[in-house]
Amino acid sequence: MKALMLEEYNKFVYQDVPSPQIANAADVLIRIKATGICGSDVHGMDGSTGRRRPPIIMGHEAAGVIEEIGSDVKSYKAGDRVTFDSTIWCGECFYCRQGEVNLCDNRRVLGVSCEEYRRDGAFAEYVVVPQYILYRLPDAVDFIAAALTEPLAVAAHAAAITPCGLNDSIVVVGAGLIGLLLIQVLRATSSGRIFALDVDKGKLDLAMKFGADATFDAADPLTPQAIRDMTAGRGADRAFEAVGASAPIAVALACVRKGGSVTLIGNVSPKVELPLQSVVTRQIALFGSCAIAGEYGIALDLMSRKKVDVRALVSATPPLSEGASWLQRLYNREPGLMKVVMQA
């Protein structure tokens, strides 16, 4: 089969590789139709994250058609249109038994190669995955949209673990892909006001299109006061941070009221500075949101019922054979590029 291989850091090669084979009776072989480039792939291609060690076929946001099934697979058949979770879990550890599969002690992520494991991903014509991470596509969801099920489910998981009450006011810091998807999820599930913060006016315009009630420049030192002015002088009830760096986290904390909460989704920087006194003396709850724990079905339903528009965030749909150049363009932060979904 053809695959886009990270042969060495910052070097992708579109080449022939052996096709994956069904090794376990509960596995399925999927012919990939569309696969998204995740920000973690872009950040990982230069080795800075330590989780994309070449040679590796990256990619974990994808959808396709079942080509072949293992002998124990009963719920799916060849020809079914499916997407799949990015995480393979064991089902036996303490966390899996509690339904926290995203925290599995033996968690494996497709397209990731780190110190403890290596698992080829979906930047290829075919991939093999266990049936228990499959989700059948609704008729209204095409393959390109389905490739965004994973990031949409990440946003839905962050919303699900955050104790948002009726009519809570919410700040979303970072109007990139996850932030914009989160705004749509929150708009579909919350009656409260949503404030979007970013330094890019184009992204803030999109945030308004997707349901934000007001937008602010995240770099403006007057923004926290402006949000307090709109929330009876207190600050927002909840904040979400979708960047993962010291400055936006500090802004999120400054915008939330005493006794409020900040949910951290962004994961760009392994370490950040935290205004500890502000967190402690204002009794701010911090939540870390990791991946997905069953929100795929929610994401597909939201897309199917047109409560969330993911296609509006897709900037380009090139063939997989041109993937190396598109990864480089994303790595270079080319203006106007939001989401690239490659077609295999």
Tens of pLDDT along 103-146? 999 999 999 998 889 999 999 999 999 999 999 999 999 999 99
Nearest by Cα to 312 from 199, 181, 190, 217: 181
The residues of the chain that CATH labels 3.40.50.720 are 153-288
Question: Does 76 have pLDDT greater than 90?
Answer: yes
**Which residues face 215 on adjacent strands?**
196
Sign (positive or negative) of CA dihedral 145, 149, 154, 160: positive
What is the Cα–Cα distance from 151 to 145, expressed in whole angstroms? 11
Residue 226 pLDDT: 98
Pairing of strands 61-69, 81-84: antiparallel
The CATH class for the domain spanning 153-288 reads alpha beta
The CATH class for the domain spanning 2-148+310-343 reads alpha beta
Alpha carbon distances (Å) from 12 to 19, 111, 313, 324, 343 = 18, 14, 25, 5, 16
Question: Does 268 have pLDDT greater than 80?
Answer: no
The residues of the chain that CATH labels 3.90.180.10 are 2-148+310-343
Residue 25 pLDDT: 97
Place of tokens 């990864």: 327
Q: What is this structure's pTM? A: 0.96
Burial of 104 per CB tally in 10 Å (0-12, 13-18, 19+):
buried
